[in-house]
Amino acid sequence: MRIAGRTGGIGIARVLAVAAGLMASASGAGSQTLAALPAVTIPAATVGEARPVPAWTEFCARYASECAVDASEPAQVTLTPRLWQTVTGINRQVNTSLRAVTDQEHWGVPDRWDLAEDGSGDCEDFQLLKRKLLAQAGLPRRAMRMTVVIDEKGEGHAVLMLRTDRGDLVLDNKTSAVLPWHKTGYTFIKREGDESTRWVSLGRAVSPVVTANR
């Protein structure tokens, strides 16, 4: 799905530079109050192990550090106004800076997970770049889990789940609103585990083979 107002891809260096500005501006967000934060909700429950999509396994072979789980990191973050501004700002900036394109158009394959290093990508590439930027901003990677869902069209889709003390929040390239997981309208299938590189199931729906949604 293309984001309204996108005029084309830009270099990854530009995205990084703008994101750095967002992080700097967030450092002055202390005047905000807790009223600006999402309400506390129940986190998504796991129901056992699950297999990742094949493209994830291939991605991890190329970017091992992006898939590693550091058990010494916290599995969730305490959401403060400053952190909330950083999360929403990076989510919005990546959504409006990358060019949305399917993997078939981009790489000539049905599904490939990447970091949008050429300024273009589909759903999972948007989320992986967001996680990279948020990790650079100081968020623990262990609290940011790649997640597979079925979207409103009945298609496989990837989002980034941020696990917080106020519940599980979803960063998505289809909207710049960061929403509680249960308000997205999606069927949640599985996500990365936070204890090891194994994935965990979030329900009993049949998993999509690919997440090729723009």
Q: Which residues of the chain have pLDDT under 50?
A: 1-10, 26-32
Question: How high is the pLDDT of residue 8?
Answer: 44
For residue 170, the one-letter residue type is V
Question: How high is the pLDDT of residue 203?
Answer: 84
Q: CA 70 to CA 94: how far, in whole Å?
A: 25
pTM: 0.84
Question: How high is the pLDDT of residue 36?
Answer: 80
Q: 67-85 in b/e burial notation, b at 16+ Cβ within 10 A?
A: bebeeeeeebbebbbebbb
The sign of the dihedral angle between the CA atoms of 198, 185, 8, 10 is negative
- pLDDT tens digits, one per residue of 90-113: 999 999 999 999 999 999 999 999
Question: How high is the pLDDT of residue 35?
Answer: 61
What residues have CB less than 8 Å from 179, skipping those under 6 apart? 169, 170, 172
Q: CA 78 to CA 157: how far, in whole Å?
A: 27
What residues have CB less than 8 Å from 58, skipping those under 6 apart? 112, 113
